[in-house]
């Protein structure tokens, strides 16, 4: 049962992968994002989670600490199947609540930007989706019932 949270994320991905959109995440993408947030905030009790979606729609899932995530101790994710570039989307959580790209996140985005299309960071009742090629992002806040209440658009690095 140790990786049940990964299985749940994969189940949601299998349901939505054909129709999920990342530049302005649609309902399918948001359902998937909610499964990642649940894993981070509830199942793993505040540990960061990341999901990488490759060009073949395969996902690679890992967890870390409350403030850092990598594939360390999740090497099986990279050994079971090959990651095919470009990366469609890199998703990770900030379990302490705020959805923003930290300086470390911007370093990751800038390192991978030639082979990564989108980046999404999840916070409590919010997410920030960033389309790398257009240097444009959308941040959305939700109320307690899950309804969008505020939407902001950004260009450039917003921290």
Burial 113-140 (b: 16+ CB within 10 A, else e): eeebbbbbbbbbebbbbbebeeeebbbb
Long-range contacts of 68-71 (CB under 8 A, 24+ apart): 68/104, 69/93
Degrees to nearest 5, angle at CA 125 with 123 and 128: 50
pLDDT of residue 155: 84
Decide: 88 and 53 in contact? Cβ < 8 Å. Answer: yes
d(CA 57, CA 111): 21
- pLDDT of 70 reads 67
Domain layout of the chain by residue ranges: 4-155
Contact indicator for 132, 119 with CB cutoff of 8 Å: yes
Q: Is 4-155 in CATH node 3.40.140?
A: yes
Helix, strand, coil percentages in the chain from 3-state DSSP, rounded to 5: 35, 30, 40
What is the predicted pLDDT for the residue at 93?
A: 96
Instruction: Show the low-confidence residues of the chain (pLDDT under 70).
Output: 1, 70-75, 77-79, 157-159
Q: What is the pTM of this model?
A: 0.91
Residue with tokens 């899950």: 146
pLDDT value at residue 71: 66
Q: What is the pLDDT of residue 98?
A: 92
């Amino acid at each position: 049962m140790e990786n049940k949270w990964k299985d749940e994320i994969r189940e949601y991905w299998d349901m939505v992968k054909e129709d999920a959109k990342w530049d302005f995440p649609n309902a399918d993408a948001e359902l998937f994002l909610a499964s990642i947030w649940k894993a981070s905030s509830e199942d793993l009790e505040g540990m960061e989670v990341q999901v990488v979606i490759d060009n073949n729609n395969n996902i690679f899932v890992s967890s870390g600490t409350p403030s850092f995530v990598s594939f360390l101790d999740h090497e099986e994710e990279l050994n079971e199947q090959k990651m095919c570039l470009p990366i469609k989307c890199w998703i990770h959580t900030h379990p302490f609540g705020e959805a923003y790209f930290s300086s470390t996140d911007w370093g990751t985005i800038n390192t991978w930007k030639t082979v990564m299309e989108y980046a999404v960071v999840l916070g409590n009742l919010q997410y920030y989706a960033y389309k790398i090629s257009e240097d444009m992002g959308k941040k959305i806040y939700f109320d307690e019932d899950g309804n969008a209440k505020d939407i902001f658009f950004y260009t450039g690095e917003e921290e």
